[in-house]
């Protein structure tokens, strides 16, 4: 028991000594910090004791500042990322809009170029606003009607060629029957000068994308790659509108006729803008070009023009003389007729 008591007393003394040392050091440091006394021994002791704590506090402080800066930077990056995402979405939408406007601008430019080139037609531009859902028919709806001068049976075209005709004109919109509709029928010609074979182009319900040129005699001069244009027969479609080209030729069942499969010049799956021919005129004749002159036999263009004018004047004078002679003959014939009239006999009274 005595040993145990002695051990406990020794432990208590050690604890008290440690507490005394700690308090002494603390007081020394505290008073050194307060400049109550500044002996070299106390200053050195305070610096030696406080150095580890200062390093720990400095490291902890730097880590806390690093964490704070990192959190702040992450917050800024997150906000910047959100703003950049919004900007990307806005730019993407603007890019799509710009692309759509560019595509529309190109289509309208092409249509305007065709309108300026086809001076024999009065054209009204229109946009496709709908399509009929029936699988066996090919009809589109355009945003032009009778208020814009559109009427039934007017031809509809693009710069590539024939589209169809107006089948039902409303006030502000119209229905257009496409060339590939099975109910459609267009009088056409083979454009090749050596051929000029006439036929009728109609839609094929079995192959909606490729109409057929039918009623072609079996021995007619029709070849693959021949271009097909409207003939002008019937009065609905003006002459010379491009329809497409022959890609295949087959014989009819009877054996007397054949038909040609046509690849249309208009892509009806991408049809967005069209033009309605509200009036058609004959194209003005091209100016007469003088023939190419052989070297050494050149003539003066002004002299040639004068000769042509003189020849035209002589023709007009001759025509006038013929008309005058005919008029004189008619007048003389009238005088003779008056002289040869029978004299009525006067009955005796």
Cα–Cα distance, 246 to 199 (Å, whole number): 12
Contact 213, 246 (CB under 8 A): yes
- Domains of the chain, by residue range, sit at 2-71, 118-280
Q: What percent of the chain has pLDDT over 90?
A: 27
Q: What local confidence, expressed as pLDDT, does residue 348 receive?
A: 42
Listed residue (187, 176, 181) closest to 144, CA to CA:
176
Is 290 exposed, middle or buried, given 0-12, 13-18 or 19+ CB atoms closer than 10 A?
A: exposed
Cα–Cα distance, 5 to 148 (Å, whole number): 121
Which residues are paired to 155 by β-bridges?
165
Q: What local confidence, expressed as pLDDT, does residue 172 receive?
A: 93
CATH classification number, 118-280, choose in 2.40.10.340, 3.30.460.10, 3.40.50.620, 3.30.70.270: 2.40.10.340
Say what the pTM is. Answer: 0.56
Quote the tokens at residue 285: 């004749």
Question: For all residues of the chain together, what is the average pLDDT?
Answer: 77
Task: State the average pLDDT over residues 9-37.
Answer: 61
Quote the tokens at residue 342: 């029978």
Q: Please enumerate in sequence order all residues whose Cβ is within 8 A of that of 176, keeping only pairs 6 or more positions apart, or say none.
A: 139, 140, 141, 142, 156, 163, 164, 165, 166, 167, 274
Cα–Cα distance, 231 to 189 (Å, whole number): 5
Is 126 exposed, middle or buried, given 0-12, 13-18 or 19+ CB atoms closer than 10 A?
A: buried
Listed residue (171, 173, 169, 179) closest to 139, CA to CA:
179
pLDDT in tens, 57-115: 677 777 778 787 888 888 888 888 888 888 888 888 888 877 777 777 777 777 777 77
Contact 203, 184 (CB under 8 A): yes
- The answer on pLDDT for 203 being more than 50 is yes
Cα–Cα distance, 61 to 56 (Å, whole number): 8
Q: What share of the chain is helix, strand, coil (3-state, %, to 5)?
A: 45, 20, 35
Contact 164, 181 (CB under 8 A): yes
Cα–Cα distance, 119 to 330 (Å, whole number): 44
């Amino acid at each position: 028991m005595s040993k145990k008591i002695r051990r406990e007393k020794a432990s208590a003394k050690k604890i008290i000594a440690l507490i005394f040392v700690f308090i002494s050091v603390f007081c020394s440091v505290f008073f050194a910090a307060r400049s109550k006394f500044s002996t070299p021994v106390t200053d050195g002791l305070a610096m030696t004791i406080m150095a580890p704590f200062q390093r720990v506090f400095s490291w902890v402080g730097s880590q806390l500042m690093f964490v704070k800066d990192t959190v702040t930077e992450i917050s800024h990056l997150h906000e910047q990322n959100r703003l950049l995402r919004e900007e990307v979405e806005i730019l993407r939408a603007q890019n799509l809009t710009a692309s759509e406007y560019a595509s529309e601008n190109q289509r309208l430019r092409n249509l305007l170029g065709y309108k300026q080139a086809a001076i024999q037609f009065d054209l009204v531009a229109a946009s496709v606003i709908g399509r009929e859902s029936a699988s066996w028919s090919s009809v589109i709806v355009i945003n032009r009607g009778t208020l814009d001068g559109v009427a039934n049976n007017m031809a509809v075209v693009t710069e590539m060629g024939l589209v169809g005709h107006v089948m039902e004109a409303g006030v502000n919109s119209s229905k257009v029957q496409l060339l590939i509709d099975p109910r459609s029928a267009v009088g056409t010609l083979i454009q090749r000068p050596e051929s000029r074979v006439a036929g009728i182009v109609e839609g094929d319900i079995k192959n909606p994308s490729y109409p057929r040129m039918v009623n072609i005699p079996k021995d007619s001069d029709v070849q693959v790659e021949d271009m097909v244009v409207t003939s002008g027969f019937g009065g609905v479609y003006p002459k010379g509108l491009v329809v497409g080209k022959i890609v295949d030729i087959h014989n009819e069942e009877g054996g007397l006729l054949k038909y040609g499969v046509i690849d249309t010049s208009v892509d009806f799956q991408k049809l967005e803008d069209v033009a309605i021919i509200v009036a058609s005129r004959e194209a003005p004749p091209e100016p007469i070009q003088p023939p190419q002159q052989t070297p050494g036999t050149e003539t003066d263009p002004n002299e040639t023009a004068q000769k042509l004018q003189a020849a035209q004047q002589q023709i007009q004078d001759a025509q006038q003389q013929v008309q005058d002679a005919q008029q004189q003959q008619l007048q003389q014939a009238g005088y003779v007729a008056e002289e040869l009239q029978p004299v009525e006999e006067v009955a005796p009274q």
